[in-house]
Amino acid sequence: MFKLVCILPNGPLKNVLKRLRLYYPPLHRLMALSKGNTESLVARSKEFSELLNDVLINGVWKRTGLGRLTILDEWVVSFLTTSSGSFKILDVGGSDGSTTFDTLRYFQENLNVEAKAAILELHLRLHCFRRGCLRYYLTHDQSPLLLQIGPLGVLFEETKGKEGVVFNPIVRIIKKYLQCFSLEKYLKNDGDLILQSPLVENSPNIIWIEQNLFHFDPAMAETFDFIRCCNVLNCGYFSDAQIYDAVRLLTFYLKHKGLLLVSRTIDTSTGPLHTASLWMKNGEVIQHISDLNGGSEVKKIVTANGPTPQ
């Protein structure tokens, strides 16, 4: 939603502001971490992921961090089989790539294969502009995200429910005005902020595909042994029809006997809880084979439509 936020580094006020939903991480610090070389790679990557955890872009949180999906890796590995020396993974919505890095390492150790991964991520970059204490950030499609003046900022995010009825039209009007005015033309282009963990940047086994999940890419047909879609196909993000269409597209990308994992992570006081479902491609359909913690919320959508056709 359209709201004022405080943009501060780590400190005593951060947790207070987060509880009040008034905190937004300093994106310029992410830029510094992605380019810096004075700190260790591990330290930079850890801080990068911690900051990115609180970034919201077009209604989607960029949750990430090493170890976040370890339980899923341990669960799914027993269902995986390898018939050749290579193993290809598609990670849909891999955030900064930290969890993909984790999964590659775990699969290589436990499946004894040379695993390679592609991360399908639409919100991989932000366009950054500045003039003095004013900073301005646009999303990949040139839509205004954040206007910052010193430690204060205006976040342009739509919301659902009753608040959305009041605030969303205001957000759209302001964003349209900023786009027509082309505020960025009056500022210095500070380059693109690539939301990629420094740990992943030089990994030879990870590539990025910067495109929409719903855009069908025929070059990826029947390419992947394993597709993981975590915290992307949530019922709060998409309609039932969109979720079904997305699963159908992902089925195209699977090899015969390839696996599709769809999950959602719920943060609890005792740690993350993963609800997940697993399907296997058999011929021209995918068939449900297992659940974790009751299964994914999208299972009922896929099941209601029967086996997903290729």
pLDDT tens per residue across span 184-197: 999 999 999 999 99
Q: Which of 26, 72, 33, 9 is nearest to 272 (CA)?
A: 72
302 band by pLDDT with thresholds 50, 70 and 90: confident
163 band by pLDDT with thresholds 50, 70 and 90: low
| Domain regions of the chain by residue span | 2-35+125-193, 70-123+197-309
165 band by pLDDT with thresholds 50, 70 and 90: low
Q: Is the pLDDT of residue 137 over 90?
A: yes
Once rounded to an integer, what is the mean pLDDT over residues 290-310? 77
Q: Which of 72, 140, 87 is nearest to 118 (CA)?
A: 87
Instruction: Quote the pLDDT of residue 48.
Output: 94
Using CA atoms, how far apart are residues 187 and 57, in angstroms rounded to an integer?
A: 22
Using CA atoms, how far apart are residues 46 and 199, in angstroms rounded to an integer?
A: 9
- What strands lie across the sheet with 134-138, from one edge to the other? 2-6, 152-156, 144-149, 134-138, 125-131, 188-194
Using CA atoms, how far apart are residues 265 and 118, in angstroms rounded to an integer?
A: 21
Using CA atoms, how far apart are residues 41 and 39, in angstroms rounded to an integer?
A: 6
In CATH, the architecture of 70-123+197-309 is 3-Layer(aba) Sandwich (3.40)
269 band by pLDDT with thresholds 50, 70 and 90: confident
